[in-house]
Amino acid sequence: MDWMAHIAFAFILCALLALRWPVFGGRNTVLVMIGAILPDIFKVYLPLQVLGIYAQDSLALFHIPIGTLLVCGVCALFFEEGTRVRVFLLFALGMATHYALDGLLIHVSGGLRLLWPLSWGAWQLQLVRPDNWLGTTILVAAALLVYVVLKIRNDRVGRAERTQDEMSSDV
């Protein structure tokens, strides 16, 4: 899946969860979206190759859950002390959405090693080709639709609250 698909899916999930649990809204949505692209941090090897540094194999450790959890933990350390656990959990939620989407892909390597180092078993559902842009396009369009619908909803709720406040102040 493309990074846009991971970000769009994380946004949709947080927008829907925030309807029930406000903790998933606002700035926390951004943390989940960042967590959704953290498993692909290993792709920094691409520009490093221009400099003659070939680190693809060692950086691939970050595209397994245990490696990504380590990255989530290190990234959470950059936040204020009282918020680090929440930030780590939001990053981890984003990470989980990443692996959920990647699990849908057809992997030439045999799939995701989700339980490494406990198991070398690979997991994949083989539903989507990795070069298929249709899934990314649908997720981005759905994220835009969710954003517009929630924006209209929030504007209506805000207008209704202002009208009610004006009516109660007239009494």
User: Percent of the chain having pLDDT more than 70?
Assistant: 76
- Which of the 8 DSSP states describes residue 128? B
**Rounded CA gap, 95 and 99, in Å?**
6
Confidence of residue 159 (pLDDT cuts 50, 70, 90): confident
Measured between alpha carbons, how far apart are the two ends of the chain, in Å?
Answer: 57
Give how many domains the chain has, as a whole number.
Answer: 1
* Token pair belonging to 124: 């994949």
Q: What is the mean pLDDT of residues 24-45?
A: 88
Place of tokens 């498993």: 39
Those residues with Cβ within 8 angstroms of residue 66's Cβ, 6 or more apart along the chain or in another chain: 116, 117
CA atoms within 13 A on the CB side of 64: 20
**Rounded CA gap, 6 and 32, in Å?**
10
Q: What is the pLDDT of residue 10?
A: 97
DSSP sequence for 91-124: HHHHHHHHHHHHTTB--TTSSB-TTTTT----B-
Sign of CA dihedral 145, 151, 155, 160: positive
Those residues with Cβ within 8 angstroms of residue 105's Cβ, 6 or more apart along the chain or in another chain: 1, 124, 125, 126, 127, 128, 129, 130
**Rounded CA gap, 8 and 140, in Å?**
5
Higher pLDDT, 154 or 15: 15
pTM: 0.80
Q: What is the mean pLDDT of residues 60-80?
A: 87
Is residue 49 over pLDDT 80? no
Mean predicted lDDT score pLDDT of the chain:
83
Q: What is the mean pLDDT of residues 37-46?
A: 76
Q: What is the pLDDT of residue 162?
A: 66
Is residue 24 over pLDDT 60? yes
Domain with 139 in it: 3-170
